[in-house]
Structure 1
Amino acid sequence: MAKVGRPPQDPARQLERAHRILDAAAELILRWGYDKTTIDDVARRAGVAKGTIYLHWRTRDQLFAALLRRERVHLFAGIRANAPATLPELFGGLVRETLNRPLLRAVLLGDDEVLGKLTRMKRTSGTSLELGGPFDAYIARMIEHGAVRAEPGDHLTVISSIVYGFIALPDLLPEAARLPDERIAELVTDTVERAMSTGRPLPGADRRAVAEATADILDAMEEVARRRLAASLGSEERGA
């Protein structure tokens, strides 16, 4: 496939410039919304020529897909910083970090006011929960070590309902009744615990196995996010 242009030969300079452009795009989308943000606007804010942006991305949609993929990488880094060791802690952290990232929250909820037609990209940009097979394997390990009940099943439906419900919650409540993001994350952790836990104390070996499985699924999700971002930045070979 023919390339649109030739990015600078210095990989570090290319990557720094790409992130500067993404920073500008994020700021403008949150200020004006996706539909009102043009490549010209982004170029002016980033301090680059319009044509320079097209050296990195062929279209505006590709630029913003890269932005959303970067947001997802940052989300997982934020979750990791709190070292979740259980399923409830993992998803409490996911909600906390999503609430702290307005672009991801907007995509997850299909917020047309912020993202306009970009909301359609949530199916392909890696911004939904996207759990599937790895989640099923994780739940199987949780059940094996006594941390999660096998019944009534439908674990993905339960988790997704809790996560989406609490992320949407601030918009559904009167201003005076809205809770701090940290409190919402605590409620998610507690709700997942009550909905899925066996309620039995775990022996030390099982606690360690649960913590290891939680770290493994976080590693897997973060690795997928980093690979997708690297592809969007043209940096697969550098392992960015």
Structure 2
Amino acid sequence: MEQRGRKAGRPPQDAALRLERAHRILDSATGLVLRQGYDGTTVEDIARHTGIAKGTIYLHWRTREELFAALLRRERLEMLSEVRRRAEESPGTVGDLLGLLASELMRKPLTRASVLGDSEVLGKLIRRKRDGGVSDDLRDGLGGYLDALAAHGGLRTDLSPAERVTALVSVLYGFLIVSRMLPRDYRPSDERLAELLADAGARTLEPGAPVSADDARAISRATLRFLDLALESARRKLHVSLGIQDPGVQGSGVQGSGVQGSGVREPDVPKPDVHEPDVRELGVRKPDVPKPGVREPGPPRLAVHEPGPQENTP
């Protein structure tokens, strides 16, 4: 009689078990890459550290690059989840947002290495991931967020939309990158760097004049909505990497071993890509999902001419 059980080494058919094993693999990969770098970490190393066969890893990800894409995406989701939580307790101005992003990014070593282009940690992965382009989603999402702040007096009025984005990205990246170039005696602590960055962002982008209580609440809501969209995008990208494809499951809450903040996992269907996420993708807006047209069922249309009454006469 034919055996229908799963073959040894295949990912578990149960979605929760499969996801748990994927996270165990990622946990092992995180520790290894932080100790010996991406270039020095092999699939064999990860399998041995996880206690599974090498082939099992390839049943989750086709290549080592895809595995590390999942690793970076998971950490990015954790970072954004914490930024969103802390934003609930902050005024939600653009300066506050920059400070929170910097503070949490500095706590995430792989995300930090990705943003700063640290090849000592991520090696060849950094060199492969650079595409030099800015997506339309980044322009629309981040631009729309800044427009909402400007409408409520949260941004200077003498800056064009393009100048706002340029200033924001320059402050964020400038502080993070330049601090690494300074002598050690001149490098501030991570906490102080986040404070300086937030202050510079406020001085560069905010008008300086106080806003009304209603406008302050609207600015805070706009920041939270922006972070919600960034979280949604981060979840979708992680689900692609984890192979979660059930569009009917939301909020499964499954987390990997030793992982906090990996977040509620909303599924996604798109084919995995190899592009590694970084903080530049925070401006991704919620995708528009067209509503399918509905029509009453009828007989199928055939490519056959139906004769009229006058054509029935021989």
Q: Which ranges in structure 2 are unaligned for 5 or more consecutive residues? A: 1-8, 251-264, 266-314
Flag the structure with larger Rg.
Answer: 2
Runs of 4+ in 1 over 4 A off after TM superposition: none
Matched, 1:62 2:71: no
Matched, 1:115 2:122: yes
Given the two structures, how large is their TM-score scaled by the length of structure 2? 0.70
Q: Which residue of 2 aligns with 1:40?
A: 44
Instruction: Name the counterpart of 2:55.
Output: 51
The question of 1:131 aligning with 2:138 is answered yes
More deviation in 107-116 or 56-65? 107-116
Distance in 2 between the 1:39 and 1:144 partners? 51
Report if the CA contact (8 A) 2:94-2:205 is conserved.
Answer: no
Q: Which residue of 2 aligns with 1:228?
A: 237
Counting only pairs closer than 5 Å after superposition, residues 143-154 of structure 1 correspond to structure 2 as 143-153=150-160, 154=163
Q: 179, 182, 186: which one pairs with 2:188?
A: 179
1:97 aligns with 2:101: no
User: What amino acid maps onto 1:133 in structure 2?
Assistant: D
Matched residue SS, 2:12:
coil
- Compared with structure 1, are the counterparts of its residues 206 and 121 closer, same or farther at alpha carbon in structure 2 (3 Å cutoff)? farther
Distance 1:38 1:19, change over 3 A: same
Deviation at 1:177, TM superposition (A): 2.5
CA distance in 1, matches of 2:118, 2:103: 18
Inter-partner Cα distance in structure 2 for 1:168 and 1:49: 39
**3-state DSSP of counterpart to 1:236:** coil
Cα-to-partner distance string for 1:191-225 (whole Å, 9 max, x where unaligned): 11100111111111101110010000000001000
Distance 1:150 1:48 in 2: 58
Amino acid at match of 2:155: V
Compare 71-80 and 172-181 and name the one that shifted more. 172-181
Secondary structure of the structure 2 residue equivalent to 1:7: coil
What runs of 5+ residues in structure 1 fail to find an aligned partner? Answer: none
Q: Which residue of 2 aligns with 1:141?
A: 148
Encode CA deviations 1:171-195: one digit per residue, 9 max, x unaligned.
2222222222111111111111100
Residue among 207, 211, 214 paired with 2:220: 211
Matches within 5 A, 1:186-197: 186-197=195-206
Whether the 8 Å contact between 1:65 and 1:121 is mirrored in structure 2 is: no
Identity %: 49
The one-letter code sitting in structure 1 at the alignment partner of 2:175 is: F
Q: In the TM superposition, what whole-angstrom CA distance separates every residue of 1:142-199 from its partner, at most 9, and x where no partner exists?
A: 1110010132331111111111122124322222222221111111111111001111
Structure 1 residue identity aligned to 2:72: L
What is the distance in 1 between the residues matched to 2:219 and 2:193? 24
Name which of structure 1's ranges 146-155 and 166-175 shifts more when overlaid on structure 2: 166-175
Q: Residue by residue, what CA displacement relative to the aligned partner does 1:68-104 show, whole Å, maximum 9, x if unpaired?
A: 1111101101211212411111111111111111111
Deviation at 1:121, TM superposition (A): 4.7
CA-CA distance at 1:7 after TM superposition: 1.8
Name 2:174's counterpart in structure 1. Answer: 165
- Please state which structure has a larger fraction of its residues in helix: 1
* Cα deviation 1:32-78 (Å, max 9, x = unaligned): 11111100001111121111111110110110011111111011012
Q: Is the 8 A contact 2:156 2:206 kept in 1?
A: yes
